[in-house]
Amino acid sequence: MRIALIAGIAALTVVLVFIIQNAHAVNISFLGAHLQLSLAVALLLAAIAGALIMAAAGTARITQLRHGMRRDRRKSRAGNQPG
């Protein structure tokens, strides 16, 4: 429990240092939208978006594999029944 707390505080410290060092504003244009954000916020939002996209892709693949396993189990059960 203490190790997780220490790791969390260390991660928060690193993120805060990152935000403080990259506080200057940048212009961002994406799909017709124009924003002015700090560089740190823009990079953090991009990282979060990338993580969400990868999580969605991973979830879709796991769902696909589970569906295939269920289908294979049903086929093996139907083939093992006497009849």
Q: How confident is the model at residue 5 (pLDDT cuts 50, 70, 90)?
A: confident
pLDDT of res. 61: 92
Picking from 47, 69, 66, the residue whose alpha carbon sits closest to that of residue 58 is: 66
Q: Where are the alpha helices (DSSP H) in 1-83?
A: 2-21, 39-80
Would you state the structure tokens that stand for residue 40, as one six-digit string?
A: 């740190």
Q: What is the pLDDT of residue 82?
A: 66
Convert the pLDDT of each residue in 14-71 to its tens digit: 888 888 888 888 888 888 989 898 888 888 888 888 889 999 999 999 999 999 999 8
